[in-house]
Structure 1
Amino acid sequence: MMWLRNKDKQKRMKRSGVFALGVLWFLSGSAWAGDAHDLAVAQGQQAYEQGQYQQVVELVKPLLKESSPPSQASRLYILALASLGKTNEAVETYEKEVAVTKREDDPLLRQIAIASILPLRSDMREQMRGAAYTALKEIESDHAVEYLEKGLSDETGMVRALVAEILGQREAGQRSKRFHEALKDEAGLVRATVLIGLGQSGDGKFVPMIEPSLNDEQHLVQIAAARALYELGRKQYWARLEQGAKSEEGYERGAAIRALGELGDRRAIPILEKTISDAQPSIRAAAIASLGKLKASESLPTLKAVLFDRNPAVRSVAAFSLGYFEQHQVLTPLTRALADSNPGVQAAAVASLLRSGAPYSVVKETVQQLLNDQNPAIRSGAVKALGNGKGQEVISALVRALNDPLPRPRIGAARALGRMG
């Protein structure tokens, strides 16, 4: 009997041992699978950091076939697709994940947007590179500065100047070492743009960095240095700006006139009113824009008169500049400008009327005509003008513009709606 009891005990132990081994095998298999997942994700992360986006896709795509893929694997896969220029596929994958998780991931959406933009900084076309940096401008985070800095070494001076302007409007950009190094850029426009950014910082520690540019070989840069120093409290450089406004050189004169408007010093008013009769349309336009920014009521008759200038670009600037004044002061001339023969003037009038608080009904008919124009540039201008307004009717017009057959008006509408929140 004892032998039988021992035998039964041995059988039970054997069964228990087999069960334990089975559980151990199952758990070990799960652990190995987990290790494999972790390894693939780690390798994918490393490949992503090295810019090997196709390798990321190949590493983590198999993990997405699991019933519950690791979240990091999904993120890497989506961002790699966006970085490869496969934005539609990235968004589709994101939407599938949202359908499963039942929640949006705003940080991931922002990363998708950035990942889609960054490759365009190396596009062969200057226009596309400029568009990429303009899009990065919309990213408020200081992390955007490192993405923007690459543009300071772009092969085209206009792109470098654009990037310098964007960086100069950010505190983190103004502190950037690469931004400071651009004071030695071969293009005078880039150097001048950096100086303006340093002046806008309000930080006096930049004065020693700016002062050598007063002797730059290009007068345009000298004016930018004088403007920056004036903004940083060195008021004696107003005289240099006045001198520049009377210069025979067009670039210097234009830069000085624009600076006078930005600085907000009323001493500029008589200088600017004289300049409105300049033979060069670009100089007249610069003077008008500066007068508008000064918001001096005594300049209103002058600005209203310029709405009849022979040059449509000058009339456009005049119409836009009137938008800085109170609605009751400018309603009549701007309403008349809606009937101007030039669509650019019409769009500027729409922008100013909306900015001054005029009801949408005043501009509705003109907006509809502009949005239905066959020229996409005119439709884009209308969209940009609508961005100066608010209210449901403005939003509805912008939403309709999202269905434009071409991307430029659609992008403008999306940006305007985004700024409205």
Structure 2
Amino acid sequence: MVIALSSRVRRSSAALSLVVFLSVTTPALVTAAPDAAALFKAGDYAAVASLYRGLDPDGRPSKELSRLALLSYVKLGRPDEALAVYQRLHPAGQAQDPVLLHPIALSVITSRVRDQKEHVRIAAYTALAELGLPETTAILEDGLLDSSVLVRARAAEAIGKAGLAAQSGALRRALDDAMPTVRIAAINALGDVKATDVQRRFIEIGRTEEGPEAVFAYAALYKMGRSDMLADITSAATLPDPEVRMAALGVLGRLKRPASLAVLTQAVYDPNPQVRAFAAGALGEYGHPGGVAPLTHAIGDDMAIVRSVAAGSLGRLGIKENRPLLHALTRDPSPQVRANAVEGLLRLGDASAILLAADLARHPDPSIRGAAAQALGAAKDKQALAVLQQLLQDQQPLPRLMAAKALGKQPAGAVPLLIKGLQDSDEAVRIVAAGSLIHQLAREAPPKRRPSP
């Protein structure tokens, strides 16, 4: 009798403890999300994060509170903590949420635009240039004031790709930058949008400058309707300065004018190997079947750099009859040439080249492993994901970086790997993975709404 009573007392005590526990914890879980919503709406993101961290570690915050905490970490420029919250909301193997992943990935990039290390800032602005997002306007224009020449150039390029060049006063001021690289990036961006308000400035540059800057000014004027500028660009392709010749060939390849094919063809015989390589690259960008003959000559060049670029261009022409030429180059003494030949074959839909890429992915030189990753960016076969996953775990950062970049070009299935890339030990790899993740999200599941409290 005593034992039975004692047992009932213990059960009643346990039940009472459970009731007390629920009465204490449940209201906190119910009211935390509304409180967090009010704080988030007021812009007090630190308070939202503090509210989230202050919960019982053994408790389970509501999805709404977790979402608000995640977005608050993004606003605070703390993407690592935002990603940790995301992974609790969406454990590995579950469906992903593009609407939440997008701001996390973008924060990985934007939180590094003022990093003390120049190469990290360059990586961040390069990623922004490739994305071309209008919402990053303030950051992009701020980049035009960076101490690094390459950062300023990437910022100018990004302003153009984001569709902001037509209205950007900061980009116009970049035409007075101390460094030609930045001025050229600004000229290209303004030329692409046909900014006629700076047309006189471009005419002046063409008259007074003797280097590559004048060639890009000619190209900008041509895009604005000055067809007579094509003759000046064509003439520049034969000037004594090799840098001017390379600039002119690059412009002619992008403009794709019928009369330019003969100039590009002749340039593969230039005495300067860098110019020959540039000509081979321009022929690939030109994309005309008439480029096959000069590129066939270029793949027999004495210089590996020329053969390498020519191999890639043969693939970009999209002509399947070029496969035998590229298969022959997979036996080239230079591993870089072999990597570019593999990329060319993959562009032509030859999935068997993935095995060749996998072999290069085991090369002792990390730059060649990186080249293998770059080649796999052209693959459309799921087998490429396995090799890229291996390279994403490489001991050296370069192959990991190139693998992260290549994953952004895969048709599907790369998102889980890129989420892992966001946690890489190298800042530049994380930035590249973030840019690729945004590309993948846009391709696989374009966000139709923006997260809001």
TM-score by length of 1: 0.79
Taking a change above 3 Å as real, the CA distance of residues 39 and 381 of structure 1, as seen in their structure-2 partners, is closer
1:11-410 → structure 2 map (5 Å cutoff) = 38=35, 42=39, 46=43, 48=45, 57-58=49-50, 60-62=52-54, 68=61, 71=64, 75-76=68-69, 79-80=72-73, 87=80, 89-98=81-90, 104-139=96-131, 141-202=133-194, 207-208=199-200, 210-217=202-209, 219-357=211-349, 359-361=350-352, 363-410=353-400
Counterpart-to-counterpart distance in 2, 1:396 and 1:281 = 36
SS in structure 2 opposite 1:121?
Answer: coil
Taking a change above 3 Å as real, the CA distance of residues 136 and 293 of structure 1, as seen in their structure-2 partners, is closer
Taking a change above 3 Å as real, the CA distance of residues 387 and 35 of structure 1, as seen in their structure-2 partners, is closer
Match of 2:13 in 1: none
Match of 1:13 in 2: none
Taking a change above 3 Å as real, the CA distance of residues 103 and 347 of structure 1, as seen in their structure-2 partners, is closer
Q: Deviations over 1:373-419 (max 9, x none)?
A: 12222112111111112122233433443333344433433443333
Counterpart-to-counterpart distance in 1, 2:265 and 2:60 = 72
Q: How many residues in Structure 1 have an aligned counterpart in Structure 2?
A: 382
Query: Whose radius of gyration is greater, 1 or 2?
Result: 1
How far the C-alpha of 1:74 sits from its partner, in A, is 5.0
SS in structure 2 opposite 1:308?
Answer: coil
What fraction of aligned residue pairs are identical, expressed as a percent? 29
Letter in 1 for 2:64: S
How far the C-alpha of 1:185 sits from its partner, in A, is 1.2
Q: Deviations over 1:184-233 (max 9, x none)?
A: 21111111121112222256566356434324545322111100111222
Letter in 2 for 1:412: M
Unaligned 5+ segments in structure 1 are: 1-25
Taking a change above 3 Å as real, the CA distance of residues 309 and 333 of structure 1, as seen in their structure-2 partners, is same
Letter in 2 for 1:377: S
Counterpart-to-counterpart distance in 2, 1:140 and 1:229 = 23
Q: Is the 8 A contact 1:210 1:225 kept in 2?
A: yes
Taking a change above 3 Å as real, the CA distance of residues 56 and 44 of structure 1, as seen in their structure-2 partners, is farther
Q: Deviations over 1:227-247 (max 9, x none)?
A: 011122210111221232222
Q: Deviations over 1:150-207 (max 9, x none)?
A: 2211111122112222332332345433222211211111111211122222565663
TM-score by length of 2: 0.74
Letter in 1 for 2:225: G
Letter in 2 for 1:360: A
Match of 1:21 in 2: none
Q: Is the 8 A contact 2:253 2:286 kept in 1?
A: yes
1:413 to 375, 399, 403: 403
Q: Is the 8 A contact 1:40 1:59 kept in 2?
A: no
Letter in 2 for 1:191: R
Taking a change above 3 Å as real, the CA distance of residues 403 and 67 of structure 1, as seen in their structure-2 partners, is closer
Q: Is the 8 A contact 2:374 2:406 kept in 1?
A: yes
How far the C-alpha of 1:73 sits from its partner, in A, is 6.8
SS in structure 1 opposite 2:393?
Answer: coil
Taking a change above 3 Å as real, the CA distance of residues 187 and 38 of structure 1, as seen in their structure-2 partners, is same
SS in structure 2 opposite 1:267?
Answer: helix
Taking a change above 3 Å as real, the CA distance of residues 409 and 274 of structure 1, as seen in their structure-2 partners, is same
Letter in 2 for 1:248: P
Counterpart-to-counterpart distance in 2, 1:244 and 1:266 = 17
Which protein is richer in helix relative to its size? 1
Letter in 2 for 1:284: R
Letter in 1 for 2:357: V
Unaligned 5+ segments in structure 2 are: 1-22, 413-453
Counterpart-to-counterpart distance in 1, 2:252 and 2:379 = 28
Q: Is the 8 A contact 2:132 2:159 kept in 1?
A: no
